[in-house]
Amino acid sequence: MAVPHDSHETSYLLPPNSKDWEGHGIPDFVYGQEELVLEGIQWPRDAPGLPEDSVPPSRFDSVLCSAWRQRVELGLFRYRLGELQTQTLPGAVGFVAQLNVERGAQRRRPQSISSVKQAFDPALFNFNKIRPGEVLFRLLREPDLPGAPQQEDILVMINVSPLEWGHVLLVPEPTRGLPQRLLPGALRAGVEAVLLSSHPGFRVGFNSLGGLASVNHLHLHGYYLAHRLPVEGAPSEPLDPGGHLHLLQAVPVPGFLFYTSRPGPDLEALIGRVCRATDYLTDREIAHNLFVTRGAPPGKTSPSSALTGVRVILWARKSSFGVKEGEAFNVALCELAGHLPVKTSQDFSSLTEAAALALIQDCLLPPAQAEEVQAALVALIAQDEQ
């Protein structure tokens, strides 16, 4: 896929000798309000590709991609990610399927999880145990951003089993030993990372425990995908009078849609609503997945609608503990959004829209429970308006 040019920044690159990495320290990426861009980021007319010369990379893109590329050259990943074979499945949904055999075969085995509320266990693998060179930088915003609290430290590190180019993890201060439960500071960093990128295909997501999170240590995923996804412009209907919560309709499956077109107080309000919703789900042992992408405003939109703000989409789903080895793909944040990383060549060549929908829909809550969750989230949002 096309990616932004290398950054001229050198402070984010590791010394050539691995013996010097331990003492290299973690560089800070400090950003201000002016770098959070909501307007003017669109897909080119000749999508799905994003030519390098058509969209100037932001400072965030340049730093992330140059540091990520260096880690590729240094061999810090479990496999070298090549150009992934990609197809849009025929049909109304527009699923983007990619063949990623190496991730299916070489990724770290998921931890044994038995509860959406499971406590952090320092004896298991966690992000305090990674190699020094895997951390790219510390994401820090200037303390004077209006209307927003001071951001906690967020480490941006490579995912050693990448889904796509630039696949990173956003990890709030790892030494705190936070379990995989979404917190406002983590979500804020994820949304602002999307706004820091000038690439319309940089997305961020979160898998809860039971929602196929493989490590019980708080983290979000971020990665580039140079293709439109169905959820960017899917239509929705409002669920509350204030228009703060919408039901994403049709493709690929229904989800709860939160939207903002302005940083500052509006973004903070969105973060609060989303985290109250995920707290409700976690407290009731309901697994969930979340996806953050540039997208169209709620309402009667279309796949080609302008990307005027940020969509945060939340899906409540059946808990799934462990990986189902025999299926074409596992259903987590990117699959629910319409991006399908497929494990084998045979499945990639034979996969149909109907088969993909059947796999995804099998992970949804039973209708009665889904209606109960919807009513509860609408009531939560209504409390904000009182």
Q: Measuring CA to CA, which residue among 128, 104, 383, 377 is closest to residue 254?
A: 377
Q: Measuring CA to CA, which residue among 173, 135, 129, 142 is closest to residue 30?
A: 142
Whole-number Å distance between alpha carbons of 206 and 196: 18
61: left (phi > 0), else alpha (psi -120 to 50), else beta?
Answer: alpha
DSSP assignment of 307-375 equals: --EEEEEEEEE--B-S--TTSS---SHHHHHTEEEES-HHHHHH--HHHHHHHHHTTBPPHHHHHHHHH
Radius of gyration of the chain measured on its C-alpha atoms: 20
Q: What angle do CA 74, 194, 166 make, to 5 degrees?
A: 20
Helix (H, G, I), strand (E, B) or coil at 341: strand
Strands 339-342 and 246-248: unpaired
The amino acid at residue 23 is: G
Tokens of 173: 């201060």
Q: Measuring CA to CA, which residue among 149, 156, 181, 198 is closest to residue 40?
A: 198
Q: What angle do CA 292, 295, 301 make, to 5 degrees?
A: 135
The amino acid at residue 34 is: E
Whole-number Å distance between alpha carbons of 222 and 174: 17
Contact 77, 160 (CB under 8 A): yes
Q: Measuring CA to CA, which residue among 217, 261, 226, 223 is closest to residue 243?
A: 261
Whole-number Å distance between alpha carbons of 380 and 372: 12
Whole-number Å distance between alpha carbons of 66 and 7: 6
CB atoms within 10 A of CB 274: 23
Q: Measuring CA to CA, which residue among 370, 385, 329 is closest to residue 96?
A: 329
Tokens of 168: 């990173």
Q: Which residues participate in catalysis according to the annotation?
A: 219
